[in-house]
A and B are shown apart, each in its own frame.
Chain A
Amino acid sequence: MVVLGVDVGGTFTDAALIADGELRTAKVRTAERQEDSVLAAVAAVGASDVERFTHGTTVATNALLERKGARTAFVATEGFEHLLHVRRQNRAHLYRLCEAHPEPLVTIRDCHGVRERIGPDGILEPLDLDSLPDLDAEAVAVCLLFSFRDARHERAVADELARRLPAAHVVASHEVSPEFREYERASTTAADAYLGPRLAGYLRALGERSRAAGLPEPLVMRSSGGVASLEEAAAHASWALLSGPAGGVVGAARVAALAGFRDAIAFDMGGTSTDVCLISGGEAERSLERTIAGFPIRLPSVDVHTVGAGGGSIAWVDGGGALRVGPESAGAVPGPACYGLGGLRPTVTDANLVLGRLPRRLADGLELDAAAAAHALDGIDAADVVEVVNAEMLRALRLVSVERGRDPRDLALVAFGGSGPLHACDLADELGVSTVLVPEAAGVLSALGLAVGDERRDHVRSEVRPLAEAGDLPGEGEADLRYRGQSFELSVPLGPGLDERFHALHEARYGYSDRGRPLELVAVRTADVRPGPPLVLPASRRKTATGPALVELDGATCWLPPGWVGVRDGGSWRLTKA
């Protein structure tokens, strides 16, 4: 079988092709139009007779960050039309009083109310479609109160809008995120509507280019870590917001599984940011909600925790004399001082070079200028820079493991991205992790994860009722449960002994349980999953290394500190403390 994954990043677009048990990879510069980059990467990797083609895209994320979505209107229950502007009433910063939240995706002029009301137990006031004003918009988000329980009014409003505005992209909240808490649901729906036309246009163009190039219709990676058809992906853009990072986590999970680890932490350290995610039972942990560009998005997504620091982060000394790293980054241009491309301020990469943890010449031929790096550091101790950035990474790694009741000693750390393998062993030491896995393909692991990702469709049914009254539940999937009276749920795998597993998880997560307290079922989550093809890593000769040592990889360098030993076996380095 021939399978292909293409991942579009900010600087590079990566392709990974598995053909008859062999892996080929390619890296090209990302072009202005993402579809050009995708096709260029496909050509570079020399793909032919491809049977499955999976794509990870940042089109939706970029459109949100750059505010380049559709002109969107919002319709809510009358009396709640300002929902997107009222938010949850907290200010953006405790002590910077006028710091602004990101401007809502819909202006207040384009927010409208419709007369109707549904309560927890049903319709309180019938829908009056005549109260729906005439709108002029490219996209419309509809979010009525309690539509997660009774979607009739919301559906009728969406149908009416589709009739009145045949060209507009109309999204009803119950289709996207049928869960309670109206602001978070409205925010998700607004993002979905706002991004929809843009993502759909891109995917249609990519589909046509792919067909012309003799490729199958692309599958698209979604935030959940599963892939979906192009048509499904185009229908709901908010599901694609984590398309990029999800590929890397899926790749890391597969690499860990090949090495015999079902539980691991994915550690992807790039130029400007670092993504960390717990892998549990062979799969990425999922969260039910996250904030993207300041907007809550209530959808299952790989539970990636992002730190705003990477190899390009700038080191500086603050007013109190403390060394800080980031959030400012030298980016790809001008890049670290040692790249000699005009960067003058010291970065983490410069510190690593001064410490002898990078070769003088990178695999792509770039000569690194150690004198420029030392000059930029201007007296700042390079080891201190690495220690400060590691402290931030450590906080993120602890957050996804220890703070969730997981013992790091049972986990492997899977390090990838340009800088991940440089910092992984030091972090493992601090965290108490005994095994670090570094794939040879560390520089293109996201594309590899795309190539082998499972197909997945998620479903959620909102319940919010006592567990004792829930009746029959599906045999597989997850139940969101809480003690009656709490506000936050824990997801517990469905199956026998559900109550007991909830108590145990609550105890592990929060330090206590209360077996006498009734449980409330908030939602039932199920997924249809079709497993993806097997992962293939490059066949490579067995090799060993003893720290201190540098190991050069495809698109990254790995630093083995003193006391660590590495064995390359089956396409990955397994690093352990001697």
Chain B
Amino acid sequence: MNQKRWAYEDFEVGAEVTFGPRRVVADEMIAFAELYDPQPMHLDEDAGKNSMLGGLSASGFFTASTFMRMMCDAYLLDSTSQGSPGVDYVNFRKPVLAGDVLNGKTIVLGKRPSNTRKGLGFVSVRHELYNQRGELVCDMANTGMFLMREEQAA
């Protein structure tokens, strides 16, 4: 296995990893909505304008999935990630609209080695996603599982 940049040991409590920018493209948003969330405000500009969201707006699941991709590109793909058992919370705080440019960060809240699996550890993190005006549009927290360096080398 190639040596990955991010193993369990590399996540320091209090540290931040930043990611982005990523532009939200209307066609991609609509393609996602057609497959997973075909509500009018996610498919059509006029329907979006007439909705509470105020424009052609992303499905929350699109925002979460895009968020995930940004984290993958920033560090997860170059990590010893073994997946995640879940997400404590996701808040959709502001609409994500076509053309928005998103930036984000992951903040390391805590970490501990697994009691049951040698060489594996849990890293608790909070993630924040901002639009081009610096407004927090989405935040979430979860615990990821990462292999330790010696395990990876084994």
The answer to whether A and B interact is: no
Residues of B within 8 A of A (CB): none
Residues of A within 8 A of B (CB): none
